[in-house]
Amino acid sequence: MPTFPLEKVLDVRRHVRSERRNALAAAMADEQTLLDAQQQKERQKQGLLDELSGLTQSETLNVEAAARRRYFVGQLDIQLMVIDQQLVEARRYVDVARNALIKADQDVKALERLRERHIAEQTYQQNRRNETALTEQWQSANWNW
């Protein structure tokens, strides 16, 4: 079988593509972790707001308990803002990683097409040489001197 002179380059590009794929998967996992944390904080906030609503509707208002819940709601709001900023950055990183993967995949596909053309050309040339050799053998065997 014909060999491709850029086989090592193709192997390196395949490795780069694999690394880019892993980087994208890690970035997407980080984004999902942040989304899960955001949902958890939202549930906690909603639970505190429900408790606060229950406290304000009771006949005896426990001001200290209501103040604590308001404080914790404020803390959760701050944490949610931080998570929102982290999500923006994580989504930007996912886009960068996705674009890098697309570029690496294009590089691999370009070399694979070049390899296929090279092998097809080498096979064609080998078949032509074999055909010529067979023709010459037949002519020398059937030539009447």
Selection from 70, 71, 84, 78 nearest residue 38 by Cα:
84
Domain tally for the chain?
1
Q: Is residue 49 part of a domain?
A: yes
Q: Is residue 99 part of a domain?
A: yes
Q: 32-63 pLDDT, tens per residue?
A: 999 999 999 999 999 999 988 887 787 777 88
Q: Is residue 145 part of a domain?
A: no
Q: Which domain holds residue 70?
A: 7-138
CATH of the domain at 49: 1.10.287.1700
Q: Is residue 39 part of a domain?
A: yes
Contacts for 38 with CB less than 8 Å, ≥ 6 apart:
80, 83, 84, 87
User: How many whole angstroms separate alpha carbon 99 and alpha carbon 113?
Assistant: 21
Q: Is residue 2 part of a domain?
A: no
What count of Cα atoms within 13 Å lies in the side-chain half-sphere of residue 91? 7
Q: Look up the pTM and report it.
A: 0.76
Q: 71-92 pLDDT, tens per residue?
A: 999 999 999 999 999 999 999 9
Q: What is the pLDDT of residue 145?
A: 56
Q: Is residue 144 part of a domain?
A: no
Q: Is residue 128 part of a domain?
A: yes
